[in-house]
Structure formats: C-alpha cells, structure tokens
Amino acid sequence: MEEMLGGTRINYLGHATFRVVTAGGGQILIDPFLTDNPQTPEDMKEVGDIDTILITHGHFDHFADAIPLAQQTGATVVANFEIFSYLQSKGVENAMPIQKGGTAQVGGIKVTATHAFHSSSIAEEDGTIVYAGEPMGFILEFESGFKLYHAGDTAVFGDMQLIGEIYQPDLALLPIGNQVVMSPFEAAHAARLLGVRHVVPMHYGTFPFIPGTPEEFQKHLGEIAPDVTVHVMQPGDDLDSQAG
C-alpha cells in the first residue's frame, strides 16, 4: 500500500469527502461536505490549509462547504463550467473550469475530469434550483505516478472500461449507497470494468436512503471481481493505516 501511494496521504472525512496530501505538500479537498456531514468527526470539520478543492457536482452533499472554504483559504476550486460560473457570481476569485476529458494542473498534480451518470444542481437558500452542468468523476495523477479515481456520484457505465484502459487507476473510490448512486452490486461491476486492484467504498450510510454496506460490496466483489482488495475506511482514517 505504501509503495503504491508513493508518499500520497488519503484521509477520509466521511460520505464522499476526502482530503489528499501530495508528496510535494499539495493539500487537495474533494467534494467538501463537512459542517453538516453527520460522518465527519467533530475535530476534523475545520480543515485548515487547503490549496485545491475539486467538485464532482452541485448537490449539497458534495458542495455545501465549497464557497466558505474557498473564501477562507483562497484555494483554487476546480469544477465544471456551470459551477465555475456560479462560484464566480458568488465572489469566489480562484475558480477554474474543467470539462470531461480535460486535464488541469493543480496542487502540483494532474487532474482529469471523467464522465459520471447522475445529475447536478445547486439548491439556493430560498429553494431555487440552479442548473449545475454535468456531474463528473476525477482521475488524479500524482508525482510518483500513482493514480486515484474518485467516481463522484454515478451509476455503473460501460466506459468505466475505457477509463481503466487509458488512465489505469491504481485505486478507485466508489459510491455504494444505492438508491441515488450505485448499489454494492453495480459498484462491484464498476471495479471489474475499471480493472483496479484496490477500492474504497464511499457514499453510504450517511442518510437513510443510501443503505448499501461494505459487507455487501465485499460479497459481490468476491463473485464479480475477486482479485480486488477492499479497504473500508472509517471517517477520520488515513488509507495507509488500513490493513491490506
């Protein structure tokens, strides 16, 4: 595991929120949902210094803390064009657009946006729904060559095989919650299509409508992609503190 990570630290903050510290000291936050995230440990809701924020889509459970954190830290926020424009309209100065198939150089690493099968919108405080472009996943390529895939919220789709072929991620963070994302069954097929050796389940148990469990995921992987190793992270965990 340590050899694969090549000095990258992956810290789980609950739901779909991860903090990634690069070997070069880059501080990257993916899908900032902290203040109202029931899974985030109390003492980790303040993230301190962050230089890059990646947003997969506009739903609150991936976006809620983006604007306050951007304003507090000055971090570069990378998101699709519609969210980029929304952030600019809210006074966020360091927003950067990215679209599927494109790569941005941020936090000292390369971030490529991929497809995701879901929806994307932002709910304003008065209840107005703002169109927030297409949902995405991200491939992060680190200094050492280690590649991480954060799938965002998604269904399984056949082009996960293409993502596997052309980016060859070492590790995939996959939603397993069911009902509004893949269930453990589809997520096991996602792992198979991606050809990854290591997976971390995410986006489950936070709310009653995402009841998928790591145990079910493990069971389906045993039948569908038996060579894949599952790393179940508890909120607050670092990946390298996991067995396997």
Q: What is d(CA 110, CA 48) in angstroms, rounded to the nearest whole number?
A: 23
**Cα separation, 127 vs 58, whole angstroms:** 14
Pairing relationship of beta strands 18-21 and 9-12 according to DSSP bridges: antiparallel
Strand partners, 18: 12, 30
Q: Does 59 bind Ni ion (CB under 5 A)?
A: yes
CB of 66 to Ni ion, least distance (A): 14
Rg of the chain over Cα atoms, rounded to whole angstroms, equals: 16
Residues that bind Mn ion (CB under 5 A): 61, 153
Nearer to Mn ion, 86 or 142 (CB): 86
How many residues touch Ni ion (CB under 5 A)?
A: 2
Q: DSSP alpha helices (H): ranges in 78-182?
A: 81-89, 160-167
> What is the smallest separation between the CB atom of 61 and Ni ion, expressed in angstroms?
6
Q: Of these partners, Ni ion, Mn ion, none, which one is at the site of residue 82 (CB under 5 to 8 Å by kind)?
A: none
Contact 30, 150 (CB under 8 A): yes
Which partner in Ni ion, Mn ion, none is near 51 (CB below 5 to 8 A by kind)?
none
**Which has the closest alpha carbon to 45: 9, 69, 22?**
69
Contact 83, 133 (CB under 8 A): yes
Shortest distance, position 118 Cβ to Ni ion, whole Å? 6
Q: Does 153 bind Ni ion (CB under 5 A)?
A: yes
Q: Candidates 108-116, 145-153, 158-166, 167-175 — which segment interacts with Ni ion by CB under 5 A?
A: 145-153
Which residue number, 39 or 73, has a Cβ lying nearer to Ni ion? 39
| Packing angle of the helix pair 81-89, 66-73 (nearest 10 deg) | 60
> Which range, of 72-80, 104-112, 152-160, 168-176, touches Ni ion by CB under 5 A?
152-160
Q: How far is the CB of 99 from Ni ion (least distance, A)?
A: 18
- Provide, rounded to whole angstroms, the least separation between the CB of residue 190 and Mn ion: 16
Instruction: Determine whether 188 is exposed, middle or buried from the number of CB atoms within 10 Å of its CB (0-12, 13-18, 19+).
Output: buried
- Whichever of 203 and 242 has its CB closer to Mn ion, that residue is 203
Q: Is 150 in the site for Ni ion (CB under 5 A)?
A: no
List the end-to-end C-alpha distance of the chain, in Å, as a whole number. Answer: 7
CB nearer to Mn ion: pick between 62 and 109: 62
As measured in angstroms, the least distance from the Cβ of 177 to Mn ion is 8
CA pair distance 199, 179, nearest whole angstrom? 20
What does 216 interact with, of Mn ion, Ni ion, none (CB < 5 to 8 A by kind)? none
Tokens linked to 119: 């929806």
Scanning 83-91, 109-117, 148-156, 188-196 for contacts with Ni ion by CB under 5 A, the matching segment is 148-156
Positions in the binding site for Ni ion (CB under 5 A)? 59, 153
